[in-house]
Structure 1
Amino acid sequence: MTKGFRLGQIASASLVSLAHGTNDAQKTMGVITLTLISAGALGHDAGPPVWVIASAGLAIGLGTYLGGWRIIRTMGKGLTDIQSPQGFAAEAAATTVILTSAHLGFALSTTQVCSGGILGAGLGRRLAEVRWGTAGRMVIAWLVTLPAAALVGGVSASVVKHGGTFGTVVIALCAAAVAAFIVLASRRNPVRADNVNAGHEVTVRAAVPTTVGTVA
Structure 2
Amino acid sequence: MDTFTLIVTIGVALGFTYTNGFHDSANAIATSVSTRALTPRAALAMAAVMNLAGAFLGSGVAKTVSEGLIATPTGQKGMGILFAALVGAIVWNLITWYFGLPSSSSHALFGGMVGAALAGGTTVYWSGVLDKVVIPMFLSPVVGLVVGYLVMVAILWMFRKSNPHKAKRGFRIAQTVSAAGMALGHGLQDAQKTMGIVMMALVISGDESYGDEIPVWVKLACAAMLSLGTYAGGWRIMRTLGRKIIELDPPQGFAAETTGASIMFASSYLFHAPISTTHVITSAIMGVGATKGTKAVRWGVAKNIVMGWFITMPAAALVAAGSYFFVQLVF
Give identity over the alignment, percent.
Answer: 40
Kindly indicate whether residue 232 of structure 2 is the aligned counterpart of residue 66 of structure 1.
Answer: yes
1:115 is the counterpart of 2:282: yes
Conserved 8 A contact 1:122-1:128? no
Measured against aligned partners, the alpha-carbon deviations of 1:90-111 in whole angstroms (never above 9, x if no partner) come to 0011111110000120111000
Deviation at 1:143, TM superposition (A): 1.0
Greater CA radius of gyration, 1 or 2? 1
Amino acid corresponding to residue 304 of structure 2 in structure 1: R
What TM-score does the superposition give when structure 1 sets the normalisation length? 0.71
State yes or no: 1:34 paired with 2:200: yes
Give the TM-score of the pair, scaled to structure 2: 0.47
Amino acid at match of 1:125: K
| Counterpart Cα distance in 2 of 1:30 and 1:40 | 15
Aligned twin of 2:170: 4
Q: Which residue of 1 aligns with 2:308?
A: 141
Matches within 5 A, 1:143-162: 143-162=310-329
Match of 2:268 in 1: 102
Equivalent in the alignment of 2:7: none
* Equivalent in the alignment of 1:89: 255
- Mapping 1:200-215, distance limit 5 Å: none
Whether 1:53 aligns to 2:219 is yes
- Stretches of structure 1 that go unaligned for 5 or more consecutive residues are 165-216
2:296 aligned counterpart, secondary structure: coil
Tell me the distance in 2 between the aligned counterparts of 1:27 and 1:43: 18
Matches of 2:217 and 2:323, distance apart in 1: 25
Structure-2 separation of matches of 1:82 and 1:128: 14
Residue 39 of structure 1, CA deviation: 2.8
Moved over 6 A (4+): none
Q: CA deviation at 1:140?
A: 1.2
2:265 is aligned with 1:76: no
TM-fit CA distance, 1:56: 1.3
The root-mean-square deviation of aligned C-alpha atoms, in Å, is 1.7
Contact 1:91/1:114, CA 8 A, preserved across alignment? yes
Structure 1 distance, partners of 2:170, 2:294, is 22
Whole-Å separation in 1 of the counterparts to 2:202 and 2:323: 17
Per the TM alignment, residue 162 of structure 1 is displaced from its structure 2 partner at its CA by 4.8
